A and B are shown apart, each in its own frame.
Chain A
């Protein structure tokens, strides 16, 4: 069965420091991977995706993610965190047979001034 794991419920970083939100996956075949962000009482916003090609994917708001096939990981990164980055982040993998997204449980990012 395909699955996604976000091992950290919460990540705390100081503003200006680099941030990493971890995601690992388990799929058969090549994965389609996604990151979304959710602000309180809002819908999910798409940040970036990996389908094929370069392992380093750049997305919205200065975020990027690195696909690592050997470690089955797709960690979200940003070189310099902003207080406004504080939100709930979801990693997802697409089930290639059904097209459905399988989401991780989410990681709350708290950026402190």
Chain B
């Protein structure tokens, strides 16, 4: 079964600073990968998804971008963070018609 790693676990960054969150997946190949944001411990907002290397679909126009440089690596970035970027960021993986599996998440606080 697949294992999803996210790095870092927590992050405190000032407004205007850059961001890079990393997600790596083990135990599967050619998965669909997803970035979600969860604000205030409630609903999940899908930010980006990828069906393959270099293929990124954006769900919501915003201050963030995503890249998939390798089959099992998915990166979430920003050039300049906003206060509203604070939240809990979750990476997820799906292969075939099965359920999505989620990583442990990164707690981002923008100050």
By a CB distance below 8 angstroms, the chain A residues around B107 are: 41
Contact between B103 and A49 (Cβ–Cβ < 8 Å)? no
Residue B35 at the chain A interface, CB threshold 8 Å: no
Q: Which of B77-98 contact A (CB under 8 A)?
A: 88, 90, 92, 94, 97
Assess whether A46 is in contact with B99, with CB atoms less than 8 Å apart. Answer: yes
- B49-69 to A contact mask, C-beta < 8 Å, 1/0: 100000000000000000000
- With both chains docked as a complex, state the minimum distance between the C-beta of B54 and any C-beta of chain A, in angstroms: 18
Counting contact residues on chain B (CB < 8 A from A), the size range is: 20 to 34
The minimal Cβ–Cβ distance linking B12 to chain A, given in whole angstroms, is 15
| Known interface pairs A34-B99, A42-B105; A105-B42 also in contact (CB < 8 Å) | yes
With an 8 A cutoff between CB atoms, is B76 at the interface?
no
User: How many residues on chain A are close to B (CB under 8 Å)?
Assistant: 21
Asked whether, in the complex, the Cβ of B103 is within 8 Å of the Cβ of A100, the reply is no
Chain B nearest CB from A35 CB (Å) reads: 10
| Known A99-B32, A100-B46, A101-B100: A44·B41 in contact at CB below 8 Å | no
- Is A45 a contact of B102 with CB atoms below 8 Å? yes
A interface residues, Cβ below 8 angstroms from B: 32, 34, 36, 40-46, 49, 51, 88, 90, 99-101, 103-106
Given A43-B102, A44-B102, 17 new contacts (CB under 8 A)? A34-B99, A36-B102, A41-B105, A43-B4, A43-B90, A43-B103, A44-B90, A46-B101, A51-B97, A88-B42, A99-B32, A100-B46, A101-B100, A103-B44, A105-B42, A106-B42, A106-B43
